[in-house]
Structure 1
Amino acid sequence: MKKSTLINSDLSYLVATLGHTDEITICDAGLPIPNHVRRIDLALTHGVPSFQQTVQTMLDESQIQGVVIADEFVTVSPEHHAVLIEQLKAEEARCGKTIAVTYISHEAFKERTNDSRAVIRTGECTPYANVIFQAGVTF
């Protein structure tokens, strides 16, 4: 049996097959997901699993070099945004690499999900609790 944190087989496969600069989206329960993009639906009920839990698990399992966040997340859900930034700073300290943070409009964010390898849907019901991870390398 797998020893690391992530035991979801779909997410494990996704992480194992990511290449440098591939993008994955972690989203709240309401973000529209393009039909042609792989959907990994983790949502069980409101808030389960949370956006923050899912982000942390994916940070524990994968190397990222950048994130994309909607501008609206900062102003509409500032507490959740602050936690995400704390998680990213902790990851930078842990891996010794800088994670670039890019802000775009929510409309541009939704358009960018078209290029994601997959969209991971959480049970989060906080507005704009969405992030795009850009895969980095461990070397």
Structure 2
Amino acid sequence: MLKGISHLLSPELLKILMEMGHADEIVLGDANFPAASHARRLVRADGHGIPALLNAILPLFPLDTYVESPVALMAVTPGDTVETPIWEDYREIVQQFHAVPVEFDEMERFSFYERAKNAYAIVSTGEQALYANVILKKGVVV
């Protein structure tokens, strides 16, 4: 254990966050996300929800301020009636850790999958909310 670092961050996940450089991306995939088939590096975080992981990651992880949208969400498929209240949770959590307002991009599902394939890593979570997947683009530590 380390002081000041959430117990939700496994040694493997901490290593990946440290290895990532400016503009590298990490995906936090919900329980339905095809993480194993899309990941270059896969981290398991079974049993943990994405809001809790965001609260653990974002104090350590700067978002990219050189792009319009350093956070991307998987958009609800047209015609699907799924509600996405978890997105508001994400916005509140991001705002807590980043003084500069952060724009969220909403990406079509298959475009999101393609972008995820190029991410530095994918974290497979136990998040049960639908359309809860999120991509974070790392910024510069100043």
TM range (shorter): 0.7 to 0.9
For the Cα contact (< 8 Å) 1:68–1:101, is it kept in 2?
A: yes
Q: CA deviation at 1:100?
A: 3.6
RMSD: 1.9
Superposition map of 1:74-89 within 5 A: 76-89=82-95
Q: CA deviation at 1:17?
A: 0.9
The 1:138–1:98 alpha-carbon spacing in structure 2 relative to 1, beyond 3 Å, is farther
Larger relative helix fraction? 1
Q: TM-score, with normalisation over the residues of structure 1?
A: 0.84
Q: Distance in 2 between matches of 1:19 and 1:25?
A: 15
Q: How many residues align?
A: 131
Q: Which amino acid aligns with 1:127?
A: L
Q: Which residue of 2 aligns with 1:129?
A: 132
Q: Which residue of 2 aligns with 1:50?
A: 49
What secondary structure sits across from 1:72 in the alignment?
coil
Q: CA deviation at 1:13?
A: 0.4
Superposition map of 1:59-78 within 5 A: 59-65=58-64, 66-72=70-76, 76-78=82-84
For the Cα contact (< 8 Å) 2:42–2:122, is it kept in 1?
A: yes
Q: Which residue of 1 aligns with 2:10?
A: 8
For the Cα contact (< 8 Å) 1:68–1:131, is it kept in 2?
A: yes
For the Cα contact (< 8 Å) 2:25–2:137, is it kept in 1?
A: yes
Q: TM-score, with normalisation over the residues of structure 2?
A: 0.83
What secondary structure sits across from 1:119 in the alignment?
strand
Superposition map of 1:20-35 within 5 A: 20-33=22-35, 34-35=37-38
Q: CA deviation at 1:76?
A: 2.4
Percent identity over the alignment is 24
